[in-house]
Amino acid sequence: MAAYILRRLLLIIPTLLGILTINFLIIQAAPGGPVEQTIANLQGLNTSATARFDGSSQSDLSSAAESSNSNSSGYRGGRGLDPLLVKQIEKQYGFDKPAHERFIQMLKNYLVFDFGESLFSGKKVTDLIIEKIPVSISLGLWTTLITYLIAVPLGIKKAVRDGTPFDVWTSSIIIIGYAIPNFLFAILLIVVFAGGTYFDWFPLRGLTSPNFDELSTWGQIKDYFWHITLPVLVSVIGSFATLSMLTKNSFLDEINKQYVVTARAKGLTESQVLYGHVFRNAMLLIIAGMPAALIGIFFTGSMLIEVIFSLDGIGLLGYEAVIKRDYPVIFGTLYIFTLIGLLLKLVSDLTYVAVDPRIDFESREN
């Protein structure tokens, strides 16, 4: 097993390299980068675009833009700007070097987890991730916990009572919950319960109130759960449907096997058969899939929820980085997410072995 783990860890290196390379090429070909955005803002003399130019005041850059000649800069919207000004902008954002040199330097920095600084906020990418990730983890942990607490017992009961009215009407609810997109359900809850049209029971944005630090410990706990109720509810609705049906089908498959018939013939009760024999085999797929479910809930499924409810987490950070073309943040979060995802995939395989020692991934590779 140690050899298998070592091989999987070594495979992370080319996988990360391939993902970063493909995304780097795509980003380079996409229009609207930070240089083009700054040029467009300079044409309108927008002060926000030039706030981070070291050693250059707004008046200096504005004067340079106004005194531009007819030479083309090579950037969309940059016709007529002074080439010296364009070069200054390129140097500020690190685009004064060829793409391959920037990519190699990026890989060297990433080896030591140096992701650079945000092009627009000036903060280190690692500081931004550390600052935002508690929100995403908080949302993801509660979503995962509640989802499993609801979906697994529901799936077991549906399997035991397969074909009964209970199975039919719960399946109908599950299908409806699965069919409604998360963002649409979020908007519905906001309209109904967050002061949209009917009730004003829950806050519309944020994970805590502005006066959170002034509250007592019990007040802070209540305030936290008050804010997180709607986002978690939306996430659970979108997650428990698949897990419920997976649990039901897994248990149904095991219940119909010969060893269950034998156990019943020995006089064991249904509870002993279900939880003493069927449970371990049926839960193999469900438990082993938990690491992959965590990465999905933490870093992908929560993005729309964070945007809609204005939760300042990783999902919102990534969304804003893509909109602004903040490349250090985009690639830094991509690197972290991919690395965590690959490690959790390995954890998922190890979980299979822990749940069922008969599984041997190492022998299958030989």
Of 162, 144, 189, 126, which Cα lies nearest the Cα of 333?
Answer: 126
Q: Would residue 4 count as lying in a domain?
A: no
Domain that holds residue 260: 125-365
Q: Would residue 120 count as lying in a domain?
A: no
Q: Would residue 1 count as lying in a domain?
A: no
The pLDDT value given to residue 196: 64
The Cα–Cα gap between 347 and 350 comes to: 5
**313 in helix, strand or coil?**
coil
Does one domain contain both 89 and 145?
no
Structure tokens at 113: 């987890």
Does one domain contain both 143 and 266?
yes
Does one domain contain both 186 and 223?
yes
Of 231, 216, 202, which Cα lies nearest the Cα of 309?
Answer: 231
Does one domain contain both 56 and 185?
no
Does one domain contain both 177 and 61?
no
Could you give the angle at the alpha carbon of 75 between the alpha carbons of 72 and 65, nearest 5°?
65
Q: What is the pLDDT along the chain (366 residues), one digit of tens a residue?
A: 777 788 888 888 898 889 889 988 887 777 666 667 676 666 664 444 444 444 444 444 445 444 444 444 555 555 555 677 667 666 666 677 777 888 888 888 888 888 888 877 778 888 888 888 888 888 888 888 888 888 888 888 888 888 888 888 988 888 887 787 777 888 888 888 877 667 778 887 777 888 888 888 888 888 888 888 888 888 888 777 878 888 888 888 888 788 888 888 888 887 878 877 787 777 777 776 676 666 666 655 567 788 888 788 887 888 888 887 888 888 888 888 888 878 877 877 777 777 666 666 666 555
Q: Would residue 24 count as lying in a domain?
A: no
Of 100, 101, 71, which Cα lies nearest the Cα of 83?
Answer: 71
The Cα–Cα gap between 151 and 245 comes to: 8
For residues 328 and 119, the answer to whether their CB atoms sit within 8 Å is yes
Strand ranges, E, within the chain: none
What residues contact 169, with CB distance under 8 A and at least 6 apart? none
Does one domain contain both 143 and 92?
no
Does one domain contain both 58 and 133?
no
The pLDDT value given to residue 48: 41
Site of tokens 């395989």:
349
* Residue 46 Ramachandran class (φ > 0 left, ψ -120 to 50 alpha, else beta): beta
The pLDDT value given to residue 345: 78
Distances (CA, A) of 263 to 71, 244, 254, 255, 278: 85, 26, 12, 11, 10
Q: What is the DSSP letter of 274?
A: I
The Cα–Cα gap between 127 and 123 comes to: 7
CA-CA-CA-CA torsion sign (151, 153, 154, 156) = positive
Amino acid 215 reads L
Structural domain ending residue among the three candidates 111, 139, 165 = 111
The Cα–Cα gap between 248 and 151 comes to: 9
pTM score over 0.85 = no
Q: Would residue 23 count as lying in a domain?
A: no
The pLDDT value given to residue 296: 63
For residues 16 and 106, the answer to whether their CB atoms sit within 8 Å is no
The pLDDT value given to residue 337: 80
CA-CA-CA-CA torsion sign (15, 360, 292, 241) = positive
